[in-house]
Amino acid sequence: MKFKFLIIFFALILSISGALADSKNDISIYTGQFDVIDKEGDDQTSLLGIEHKNSNLFRNTILGRFSPITGGFITGKDSVYLYTGVEAEYNLGLLKISPSFAPGYYEKGSGKDLGDVLEFKSEIKFGFDVFENSKLGYSYSHISNNDFGETNPGTDNQSITFSKKF
Domain 2-165, classified CATH 2.60.40.1080, yes or no: no
* Confidence bin at 23 (pLDDT 50/70/90): low
* Residue ranges covered by each domain of the chain: 2-165
Give the model's pLDDT for residue 3: 54
Over residues 74-124, the pLDDT tens digits come to: 999 999 999 999 999 999 988 999 999 999 999 999 999 999 999 999 999
Within 10 Å of residue 165's Cβ, how many Cβ atoms?
A: 13
Q: Note the pTM of the prediction, 2 decimals.
A: 0.84
- The whole-chain average pLDDT of the chain stands at 87
Render the burial of 95-131: b for 16+ CB within 10 Å, e for the rest.
Answer: ebebebebebebbbbebbebbbeebbbebebebeeee
Over residues 62-84, the pLDDT tens digits come to: 888 899 999 999 999 999 999 99
